[in-house]
Chains A and B, each alone.
Chain A
Amino acid sequence: MTETGAFEKVLTRYQTIPGYRGTLPEYEAHGGYQALHTVLGKMAPAEVVDAVKRSGLRGRGGAGFPCGMKWGFIPKDSGKPVYLVVNGDESEPGTFKDRMLIEEEPHQILEGVILSSYAIGCHLAFLYCRGEFVRGAQVLQRTIAEAYDKGYLGRNILGSGFDLDVIQHRGAGAYICGEETGLLESLEGKRGQPRPKPPFPAVSGLYRCPTVVNNVETLSNIPHILLRGPEWFTAIGPPKSTGPRLFSVSGHVARPGNYELPMSVTLRQLIFEHAGGIPGGRALKAVIPGGSSSPVLTPAHLDVTMDFDSLAAVGSMGGSGAVVVMDETTCMVRVGEIVSRFYHHESCGQCTQCREGTAWLHKVLRRIENGQGRKEDLDLLLDMCDNMKGKTICVLSDAAAMPIESYLKHFRDEFERHIRDRACPFAGAAGVRKH
């Protein structure tokens, strides 16, 4: 079945090199920028797009959209400049892999950016990283400078006639700027409020020009696909979730961290083999498999493989690859309170259902957790969730509703007990654990 033992790391291979700091000479000494030499001026841009299509690479930012297909939506003859924007906003709770790639292997991202820009005909690309990545932004700035010095950026790169400039741009703290059109607004110097779609960014994105937005990890795969070929990539993992993926595992596990694996890995292997299981001999209670927006799973789901389609089939999603593990001391009402507080704080407020819905969810969950819940609250919560889905400018509203529905679905008795006993049965447990 799963041959995760035999899997050779791709994106994090650098971690096996002692003292590696991710500078340009180090990156090159270990095979970096070879794809650039192989592709620029030697492969036609359309061939590059085709190779990425054939690799089956799906976006690692959250939606799992096929990368090559997205590139294919860029109109050939709009007469306008085309932009590539790298989404390094990484704010989905539980996720910490893009920050690692930015700080530790930044040239891999940049090589991916140059190759992708070449493929889609972009001559100005933006690396947008979240405001809190102060160090990450400095590293990216240094990386870009090194690449200019070496002639990997600027005019006539490697004599291919291809020109590219890259700008590093740091946000200022707002989850919604991770949503691609919120990000574009932010990059235009505005409030990061998502735009109604259509038009999609491929047609009208940054400065109303055709734009591709891709996640940091997605683009980090590009040099490897072009150097080793799409067939090499499709041989990793299940047929519809190809290539390596970084799973950020955190919470009640012995060895939290980023694990690069094929998506054929099971949830059980990920938690118990790779992340070392649950400390203190406690039992597993719940797992969020793809960031806080993804519906929760239970021990009954441990044998699901971590690919996009299998996770969807059990009612959740691969999302951002963030796996949050919770043991038996965790109160699911408290989890709901924390998660809903987050979405309430991050709603940009444009849509009534989202603005009001996230506020209500948080208010009701807080009152249940505090022992002031009412019998009718659970149906009220489900009603509110239903109202929040599928009706808004962006899917933050859905992302706020779906997890809460799932907590109620799998742990309804726990919610009922809070209301019946007028108190949290876990008081003193969750959230007050000593380290």
Chain B
Amino acid sequence: MIAEETRHRFDALVARYPEKRSAMIPILHAVQAEVGYLSPAAVEWIAQYLDLMPADVMSVASFYDMLHLEPVGKHLIYACQNLTCTLLGAEPLIRHIETRLGIRAGETTPDGKITLKRMECLAACGDGPAMQVDGEYHGRMTLEKLDRILETLQHD
């Protein structure tokens, strides 16, 4: 399931840390990127690789917002719902995404293309309302900008 080349990368990664387990989060990120989400088989693989129980890996993975134990869309929208962004109009923007995609925050479109997640402060308040789309920041969001972004994602 995990490419040989990725495994070699992990071997080098693990060797850098005084304790093997420290490579857990980097490995979770990398496996998630390769498999799409942390499937039971992926968790099993990581546990075996790190000499841990699958339950240990699950317990860590479930703690962090960016690690997905369920399949997510091809594209991921993180919309900030914290204070500054809300002061600057984040709520109507989030509702606009929900209406346009026909999903609620936390869900994925039926075609598996887009997942919308509400996030806490993204450290971009100076450019609020802020969002991240597939890891890239988009600031000073407006309905027009948002429509352009959604258009691109939907047609990808």
Contact = CB atoms under 8 A, between A and B. Distances in A.
Nearest to A255: B126
Interface string A276-318: 0000000000001000100000000000000000000000000
A248 B83 contact: no
A354 interface: no
Given A248-B126, A251-B84, A256-B128, A172 B135 contact: no
B126 A190 contact: no
Contact of B60 (A131, A191, A257): A191
A131 B66 contact: yes
A124 interface: yes
A95 B64 contact: no
B87 interface: yes
B25 A170 contact: yes
Given A93-B121, A174-B64, A250-B84, A257 B126 contact: yes
Contacts of B150: none
B22 A256 contact: no
Interface in B80-129: 81-84, 86-92, 119-129
A252 interface: yes
A186 interface: yes
Contact of B26 (A170, A173, A334): A170
Interface in B37-66: 50, 59-60, 63-66
A99 interface: yes
A257 B121 CA distance: 15
B148 to A, nearest CB: 15
A430 interface: yes
A335 B125 CA distance: 15
Interface in B10-53: 16-19, 21-26, 28-29, 50
B60 A189 contact: yes
Contacts of B124: 96, 99
B2 to A, nearest CB: 18
Contact of B82 (A93, A189, A258): A93
Interface stretch (A14-22, A337-345, A390-398): A337-345
Given A167-B16, A173-B65, A188-B21, A432 B92 contact: yes
A130 B86 contact: no
B142 interface: yes
A99 B124 CA distance: 8
Contacts of A338: 81-83, 86
Q: Sort A-B residue pairs by CB-CB distance and give the 4 closest, nearest first.
A: A189-B24, A173-B65, A172-B64, A189-B21
30 contacts: A92-B121, A93-B84, A94-B121, A95-B121, A95-B123, A95-B125, A96-B125, A98-B123, A99-B123, A130-B123, A132-B78, A132-B123, A165-B16, A169-B25, A170-B26, A172-B64, A174-B63, A174-B64, A188-B21, A191-B60, A250-B125, A251-B125, A324-B87, A335-B83, A338-B81, A338-B83, A432-B89, A435-B88, A435-B89, A435-B141
